[in-house]
Amino acid sequence: MTTNLLANLPSNLPDELFTTLLEVTNLRIERIVSHGHSSPEGFWYDQDQHEWVVVLQGAAQLSIEGATKELKPGDHIKIPAHQKHRVEWTTPDEPTVWLAVFYGEAKS
């Protein structure tokens, strides 16, 4: 009935791990596990949906249109649709677990 967002984290993670926890019209809740990952050089996310994201474990730095923001567990941030952002780093010391809520109209 439940699974735990922080349990059984993979110890070897070549790529970031994206798990959809809930998906209904105009709403998706996703767990993302990073382990030292960052966005590729020069890559910026540019999303049709708004995103509200919180770090549950680990640490990360986001760039959001020029500004940078460090996130530790409990820190959350809202990223409006089409606000360009990227992950500058996630800590190599442990997995970083994000909980992301994507909402608003998803264009295809």
Residues at the interface with its own copies (CB under 8 A): 1-7, 21-22, 24, 26-27, 29, 50, 52, 54, 56, 69, 71-78, 99, 101, 103-104
CB of 41 to its own copies, least distance (A): 25
- Judged by beta carbon, residue 13 or residue 77, the one nearer its own copies is 77
CB of 46 to its own copies, least distance (A): 20
CB of 6 to its own copies, least distance (A): 3
Q: Are 74 and 54 in contact (CB under 8 A)?
A: yes
- Judged by beta carbon, residue 16 or residue 30, the one nearer its own copies is 30
Distance CA 84, CA 66 (A): 9
CB of 36 to its own copies, least distance (A): 21
Q: Are 66 and 81 in contact (CB under 8 A)?
A: no
- Judged by beta carbon, residue 13 or residue 56, the one nearer its own copies is 56
Distance CA 82, CA 56 (A): 24
Residue type, 70: E
Q: What is the per-residue burial (b if ≥16 Cβ within 10 Å, else e) of 11-30?
A: eeeeebbeeeeeeeeeebbb
Q: Are 96 and 60 in contact (CB under 8 A)?
A: yes
- Judged by beta carbon, residue 37 or residue 102, the one nearer its own copies is 102
